[in-house]
Amino acid sequence: MSGTMIFFLLIIYVVTSIWVWCDAADKNGKHLGAIWGLIAFSTFPFAFIVYLFVRNASIPQ
């Protein structure tokens, strides 16, 4: 792989992890957002795909 392609994959990896963190924090609070962000960061791209499916599920209060 060329260095440019690796750089763009790294950017996509970081940006999607930050987006998951911010989106989950807005919807469910800071703590759950941080957990989703860490999961998305550590198991990319699987957790990102899972998050896209469960992001609109409501959590009972």
pLDDT of residue 23: 92
Question: What angle, rounded to 10 degrees, do the helices at 46-54 and 30-42 form?
Answer: 140
pLDDT of residue 48: 86
60 domain-assigned: no
pLDDT of residue 60: 61
30 domain-assigned: yes
Q: Calculate the alpha carbon distances from 19 to 36, 59, 61 in Å.
A: 10, 20, 24
Q: State the distance between the two ends of the chain, measured CA to CA, in whole angstroms.
A: 48
59 domain-assigned: no
pLDDT of residue 52: 87
50 domain-assigned: yes
Number of structural domains the chain divides into = 1
33 domain-assigned: yes
pLDDT of residue 7: 94
pTM value surpassing 0.85: no
Q: What is the pLDDT of residues 26-61, one digit of tens each?
A: 988 888 888 988 998 899 889 888 988 888 876 665
38 domain-assigned: yes
What domain range is 46 assigned to? 3-54
61 domain-assigned: no
